Structure 1
């Protein structure tokens, strides 16, 4: 169970994962050792899954962001597993969801250009034997950046 201090600690770490135990303690009115122990407990209990740097896609050569909807011909477990494996192997696909509704999957992708997105769709996704249809939406502008989870 999370108390208010745990929630504040999680919110602070989502904004800056580099905070030291001293800095967290100052923010939360705890000693550095108490703040450090709380962080360790939240990590051990799985509330904190890891720490990562958020890169600027354009700076690393990824100028196209798109959402790709995939509709399947079949929903047999083996075909779904094979499709999930394919998606896991593609570095352009940064996240994926199984959906209700017309599309079975929604993939968020980053590509260097439209040619690379076209290759991903026509040479990787569509040839998969259980894929019936692929529809993509190219992001024109991301007016709200990926935000921390509400705590």
Structure 2
């Protein structure tokens, strides 16, 4: 059996990034683990820093249970360099190269409206973008 993975993003503002990635991926807030009824109740089990809060983290999941879970955690240090691992947002649909590129461009424009920014376009292939805190990701067509 293959191992499952979760992805974790360090950040300065967990709510900001959670809202962006929910819009980007169609993810939802993950419910707290059983038997807890709230995320705050679950977090109370841990020895968190005195200045910590429930807003220091966000946990997202694919509502269909297919994609990896995404944890977004506030850390004190700023982002300093290019990501060594990045997310590819794959745009569904088939068609010729022009149609795929139109869908990629439309998705990147939607993600700009959600708070991302375009870093570079690789015409006809993919768009390199950054989320609101500068984490790089690509928008590309899903494999045919």
Structure-2-length-normalised TM-score: 0.32
Which of the pair is proportionally richer in strand?
2
TM-score, L = length of structure 1? 0.30
Higher helix share: 1
